[in-house]
Structure 1
Amino acid sequence: MIEFYPQIKALHIAMAVSSGALFAVRGAFALAGHRWPHSLAVRVLSWTIDTTLLTAALMLFTVLPRELFANGWLATKIVLLLGYIGLGAFALRRARGRRGQAAAYVAALAVFASIYSIARAHHPLGALYALFA
């Protein structure tokens, strides 16, 4: 399966960008008071993208050598992913009031940026690693 690594990685990156972009657009429009971000069609699209993203991630995990994950960057990404999911849920439907939704939305986008940074750097500090190296 290692021969499909480039395609799996490309799919994973495309789905990660799609997931983040869809969340950013949904959150912005939900904060503006629009109803379409909560429609079933948009939620199904989000679930489809996220399921594909997770499937590609699991495929990459099984293909790559275990030594690549020795410094903890993948574990950090997983922990941040759980935070991103929770903050996203608050931003789109659970937070009370616009101020709470806005705070959760901004925090979720910051966590997403951190996950992206960690993935690019393959280090738990992400882009901050350059400051401490």
Structure 2
Amino acid sequence: MNYLAIKHLHMTAAGLSILLFIIRAYWSVTGSAMLQRRAVKIVPHVVDTVLLACAVALSIMLGAAGMQPWVLTKIVLLIAYIGVGTIAIKRGKTVRSRGIAAIIAIAIFAYIVGVAINHHPASWFA
């Protein structure tokens, strides 16, 4: 696979990932039984695995350029997004805490997109 194909797959997986997160966070806040469905528990992990695999492949293809400050920023923010996302979907004890965590996770994701587009750790503020 060439760089552009992997990049497009990565971007598609990112779009699907945030879409699935928003849906699951909504269900978590509203107490929907949909969160217990087997596909809802499996599909997001498959999408996120594709997203991460593409990210690793792109970093390898970029070589030393793959460890630029903006790439490292995306990695750190990804870890924060995952942590806050788990609070939004399952670890938050109250509806309010899950809702706030969901909003914060979406904001982190938006910041990651800005970092990716602008190739700068300051994201949209560069």
Shorter-chain TM-score above 0.5? yes
Deviation at 1:68, TM superposition (A): 5.5
Deviation at 1:67, TM superposition (A): 3.1
Deviation at 1:62, TM superposition (A): 0.6
Q: Could you tell me whether the CA contact under 8 Å between 1:27 and 1:37 is conserved in 2?
A: no
Please give the secondary structure, in 1, of the residue aligned with 2:120: coil
**Aligned residue identity for 1:63:** M
Please give the secondary structure, in 1, of the residue aligned with 2:121: coil
Which position in structure 1 is the counterpart of 2:122?
125
Alignment of 1:101-112 (within 5 A): 101-112=98-109
- Counterparts of 1:100 and 1:92, CA distance in 2: 10
- Structure 2 length as normaliser, TM-score? 0.94
Unmatched tracts of structure 2, length 5 or more: none
What whole-Å deviation, never above 9, does each CA across 1:11-33 have from its counterpart, x for those lacking one?
A: 00000110011101111122112
Runs of 4+ in 1 over 6 A off after TM superposition: none
Unmatched tracts of structure 1, length 5 or more: none
Which position in structure 1 is the counterpart of 2:97?
100
Cα RMSD between the aligned structures? 1.3
**Higher alpha-carbon Rg:** 1
- Counterparts of 1:111 and 1:42, CA distance in 2: 22
Which position in structure 1 is the counterpart of 2:31?
33
Which position in structure 2 is the counterpart of 1:55?
53
Which position in structure 1 is the counterpart of 2:62?
64
What whole-Å deviation, never above 9, does each CA across 1:49-86 have from its counterpart, x for those lacking one?
A: 0001111111101111423643x001111111001001
The partner residue of 2:85 within 70, 84, 88 is: 88
- Structure 1 length as normaliser, TM-score? 0.89
| 1:122/1:38 CA distance change after superposition, 3 Å | farther
**Aligned residue identity for 1:29:** W
How many residue pairs match? The answer is 126
Please give the secondary structure, in 2, of the residue aligned with 1:64: helix
